[in-house]
Structure 1
Amino acid sequence: MIEHVINQRQRDLGAFVVGRVLPSAQRRMVGPYIFFDRMGPKQIAAGLPREADIRPHPHIGLSTITYLFDGHITHRDSLGFEQAIQPGEVNWMTAGRGITHSERFEHLRSHGGPLDGVQAWVALPEEKEEREPGFWHHRADALPEWRDSGIHGRLIAGHLAGLQSPVETDSPQFYVHWQLRAGTRISLPAEYPERAVYVASGEVELDGQRIEPGSMAVLVSGKPVTITAIGDAVVMALGGEPLGPRYIDWNFVSSSKERIDQARADWAAGRMKLPDLDNREFTPAPPRFGKEPEARR
């Protein structure tokens, strides 16, 4: 039932360390999901330096999803949106032909507190890679939820088991958050050819195989899988229809290397508009060190 297990690797973003799961050597994408970073869990002291913030930076060819278990982040983008992100809510930003945004920890800087969540990227279908950019925010109570004998589920995006999230997507997919009490079981149906289960906390068994916290189990296609919580656990599951190979270079995703080259040139030349409410600094693109962008699949 399990194709392989990916253990998250620590990645230092400067003043902040994340657990990176996708892309990995074992698996580049799961359905359209091409990037999966765990932020935290971390206790932030008041007075966090501004260097910890994610300064304005660009994207093309993807949608980003910021989803928090705990904490507070402020989003600002080049479409003029400013939005606080709180636990259980969904910030869905579609870059398309190009967008810039920042993610600031201003509330935590002032008050301190916990921070824990996931940022994922969804690659766009080729025919939609150059679509108009957009931003949507969805409150937690706007998302489909279900509770049953120690199980609390929330459908973040897409369609699963007869439920449909209001979050707009550009290809068939699903993304779900489960909170499981010890001893409970839930089945993930075989609705999509590519699926994966990430254990955020606690420990679970997938059809008898233990999966530790911080690990993602990529599942065999075509078969439902049963998830059993050994203790109280938090689990994310995601997947969908595959899109074909994609190149990923820094914050850019595309089916074309030439398009990524153009995006790098546009950012370096200042041709990508900065967020209206956060335009006094930006993140320079890192050097490639002579490497071509790599196709992810």
Structure 2
Amino acid sequence: MIDLVISQRRRDLGGFEVGRVLPFAKRRMVGPFIFFDHMGPASFTAGFPRTVDVRPHPHIGLSTLSYLYEGQMTHRDSVGAHQEIKPGEVNWMTAGSGVTHSERFEHLRSHGGTMDGIQTWIALPNGEEEIDPSFAHFDVSDLPAYEAEGLTARLIAGAAFGAKAPVPVRSPMFYVHWTMKAGARGELPAEYPERAAYVARGGVEVDGRTFGAGEMLVFAPGQPVVLTAATDAIVMLLGGEPIGERFIEWNFVSSSKARIEQAKADWRAGRMKLPDADDEEFIPLPGDPPPEANPMS
């Protein structure tokens, strides 16, 4: 039933830690999900420096999905979006042929508090990797939800459990947030060939084994999976149809290594537009010297 267990690898991003889950050496993707980071949990005192923010940086060939349990972020991008994201909401940015964006912690800097959430990248399918960039935001009330016997579920993106989210996904996939009371049970059907469950908080039992926070369980295809909460828990269900081999380097995803090299050259040369409201700084390509001036402004 369980093919693989992936434990998050904690990384310091210069002010707070994230838990990197995907990509993993033995499992690069689950369905179209090619990147999965648990941001935090981290506590901030008001007035922390701007160096903690994620400065403008580029993407190609993917959609990013930001989803918070606690805290607040400010998103700005090169298609003109300026959006606050709060717990339970969905920020869906499609990079396609190329986009740049920043993620700032302005509310937390003013008020202090906790940051806890998931950032994931969904690779675009063949034939759609170079679509025009776009952005969409969805409130909690926009997303299908249900409750039953200690289990609260919210469909974040894709289709599952007979429901479909309004998020404009480009390939068959699902992404679900379960909040479980201790002893609650939930079944993940065998609808998709690639499925996984990430334990964000608490612990769950699957097939007689107990798993804790920071572990992703990747399931074999073909059989439903029953998860039982060993404690109060938050579980993220994800997966979908495989989309084929993808290469990933820094913030770029593509089926073509040559396309990634072109994107690197474009970023280095200043050919990718920065967000209008956040164009005073940017993250240089790894290995490049820090910029003396912004060539993109």
After TM superposition, the score normalised by the length of structure 2 is 0.96
Q: Matched residue of 2:35: which SS?
A: strand
Q: CA deviation at 1:149?
A: 1.5
Name the structure 1 match of 2:90: 90
Q: Matched residue of 1:30: which SS?
A: coil
Q: CA deviation at 1:211?
A: 1.2
Q: CA deviation at 1:17?
A: 1.6
Q: Structure 1 CA distance, aligned partners of 2:56 and 2:221? A: 38
Could you give the per-residue CA deviations for residues 73-99 of structure 1, whole angstroms, max 9, x where no partner exists?
000000111000000000000000000
Q: Matched residue of 2:110: which SS?
A: helix
Q: CA deviation at 1:63?
A: 0.3
Q: Structure 2 CA distance, aligned partners of 1:41 and 1:281? A: 27
Q: Structure 1 CA distance, aligned partners of 2:201 and 2:15? A: 23
Q: Tell whether the 8 Å contact from 2:56 to 2:283 is kept in structure 1 after alignment.
A: yes
Q: Tell whether the 8 Å contact from 2:195 to 2:219 is kept in structure 1 after alignment.
A: yes
Name the structure 2 match of 1:294: none
Name the structure 2 match of 1:251: 251
Q: CA deviation at 1:111?
A: 0.5
Could you give the per-residue CA deviations for residues 5-43 of structure 1, whole angstroms, max 9, x where no partner exists?
000001222223200000011210000000000011111
Q: CA deviation at 1:207?
A: 2.3
Q: Structure 2 CA distance, aligned partners of 1:128 and 1:110? A: 40
Q: Matched residue of 2:265: which SS?
A: helix
In the TM superposition, 1:217-228 aligns within 5 A as: 217-228=217-228
Give the letter for the 1:177 counterpart: H
Question: 5+ unaligned residues in a row in structure 1: which ranges?
Answer: 289-297
In the TM superposition, 1:161-180 aligns within 5 A as: 161-180=161-180
Q: Matched residue of 2:127: which SS?
A: helix
2:271 aligned with 1:271: yes
Q: Matched residue of 1:127: which SS?
A: coil
Q: Structure 1 CA distance, aligned partners of 2:206 and 2:94? A: 33
Q: Structure 2 CA distance, aligned partners of 1:61 and 1:266? A: 15
Give the letter for the 2:133 counterpart: P
In the TM superposition, 1:171-210 aligns within 5 A as: 171-210=171-210
After TM superposition, the score normalised by the length of structure 1 is 0.96
Q: Tell whether the 8 Å contact from 2:16 to 2:42 is kept in structure 1 after alignment.
A: no
Q: Which moved more, 1:91-100 or 1:199-208?
A: 199-208
Q: CA deviation at 1:126?
A: 1.7
2:101 aligned with 1:101: yes
CA RMSD of aligned residues (A): 0.8
Name the structure 1 match of 2:295: none
Q: Tell whether the 8 Å contact from 2:16 to 2:40 is kept in structure 1 after alignment.
A: no
Q: Structure 1 CA distance, aligned partners of 2:189 and 2:207? A: 13
Report the identity percentage: 62
Q: Matched residue of 2:178: which SS?
A: strand
Count of residues in Structure 1 that have an aligned counterpart in Structure 2: 288
Q: Structure 1 CA distance, aligned partners of 2:78 and 2:141? A: 27
Name the structure 1 match of 2:74: 74
Q: Structure 2 CA distance, aligned partners of 1:16 and 1:233? A: 23
Q: Structure 2 CA distance, aligned partners of 1:140 and 1:236? A: 16
Name the structure 1 match of 2:291: none
Could you give the per-residue CA deviations for residues 215-261 of structure 1, whole angstroms, max 9, x where no partner exists?
00000011100000011000001000001110000000000000000
Could you give the per-residue CA deviations for residues 164-193 of structure 1, whole angstroms, max 9, x where no partner exists?
001110000000000000101000001000
Question: 5+ unaligned residues in a row in structure 2: which ranges?
Answer: 289-297
After TM superposition, which residue ranges in structure 1, 4 or more long, deviate above 3 angstroms?
Answer: none
Q: Structure 2 CA distance, aligned partners of 1:15 and 1:269? A: 29
Q: Structure 2 CA distance, aligned partners of 1:208 and 1:28? A: 26
